[in-house]
A and B are shown apart, each in its own frame.
Chain A
Amino acid sequence: MHFANLFKWLSLALALAISAAPAQAATPRDQLVIGMNMNNLLSLDPAGATGNDVLGVVANLYDYLVELDPHDLTIVKPALAEKWEIAPDRNSITLTLRDGVRFKSGRLLTAHDAAWSLHRVLKLNLAMASPWKSYGFSKTNAEQLITAPDARTLRIALPEPTDPKMVLYTLGTSVSSAILDRDTVLAHQKNGDLGAAWLLTHAAGSGPFVLTEWRAKDAMLLDRYDGYWRGPAKLRRVVMRHVPESLSLRFMIDRGDVDLAAGMAAPDIEALKHDGRVVVQPVKRGNTYYVALSLKDARYADKRVRLALRKLIDYDGINQAIMPHYGVAHQRPVMSGLAATLPDPGYKLDVAGARKLLAEAGYPNGFRTTIRVLSDPPMINIATALQATLAQAGIDASILPGTGNQVYGSMRDRKFEIVVGRGGGGVEPHPHANLRAMVYNPDNRDEARLTNFQGWRTSFHHDAINRLIEQAVRERDDATQLAMYREVQQLYDSEVGAIQPIAQMVDTVVLSRRVHGYVGHPSATTLLRDVYKE
Chain B
Amino acid sequence: MVRFSKIGEGRYVLDVRGYTCPYPVIYARKALASIGVGEVLEVLTDNPPSCENVPRAVKEDGHDVLSVEKVDRGVWRITVVRKR
A binds B: no
Chain B residues within CB distance 8 Å of chain A: none
Chain A contact residues, CB within 8 Å of chain B: none
